[in-house]
Structure formats: C-alpha cells, structure tokens
Amino acid sequence: MRLLSWIIGLPVAIVLILFAVANRNLVEVSFDPLSQQDPWAALSVPLWTVLFFGIFCGLVAGWVGAWLKQAKWRRAARHARRDLASERAQAARLRREQTGGLVPHDG
C-alpha cells in the first residue's frame, strides 16, 4: 500500500510542482458577480495559488462531509462504550457479592 502511494503520489506531486512553476503569472480573481470592469473585491494572485486553494477547499469539504456522515457511528460507539462500562461494573459487583466481598488479588 505504501509503495502504491509513492507510485501515484510522486508523479502527481511532480506535475503539480511543474504546473506551479510554469504558471507564475498573475490572474485577477474577482468576487463581484455583477461588475466585471470594476469589481468591488478582486485579488491579483498567481494562477497556481487559485488551483491549490481550490484543492484545499475540496479536501476540507470532503473531510467535513465524511465527519458529518459518520456521526451516527460515533454516537453508536459512544453508547456501546457506556453500556460496556455499565456491564463491567455490574459484573464486578456480582463477583464481589458471589465471593462475599472478597475479591481475589491478581499478582
């Protein structure tokens, strides 16, 4: 699996680095959908920053989506841990009652 990561990851990293080096020219990123000639908010940034920012936003959105999707499993695990702790406490109490309050010492 680690070798597969290198086989896929290394060429992708090389292509992204080459893209970043080749596209250092500034592009204007506008946040005003109504006015193209005189936008109220615009940035001049290298093209590669726009690409990497888009990739970063996609990663964050994917992580948040996966975290939200797994909420029911985290909740079920939390309940299972609580139930297990309760059952262990009950088993320990029953062992103490069965042995007359004497608990064997391991060691």
Of how many residues is the chain composed?
Answer: 107
Contacts of 51 (CB under 8 A, 6+ apart): 19, 20, 23
At 25, list the tokens.
């020219």
Per-residue confidence of the chain (107 residues) as pLDDT tens digits?
A: 888 888 999 999 899 889 888 888 898 888 888 877 778 888 899 988 888 899 999 999 999 999 999 999 999 999 999 999 999 999 999 999 888 766 566 65
At 82, list the tokens.
């609580």
Q: Is 25 helix (H, G, I), strand (E, B) or coil?
A: coil
Contact 23, 2 (CB under 8 A): no
Say what the pTM is.
0.60
Q: What pLDDT, on the 0 to 100 scale, is given for residue 105?
A: 62
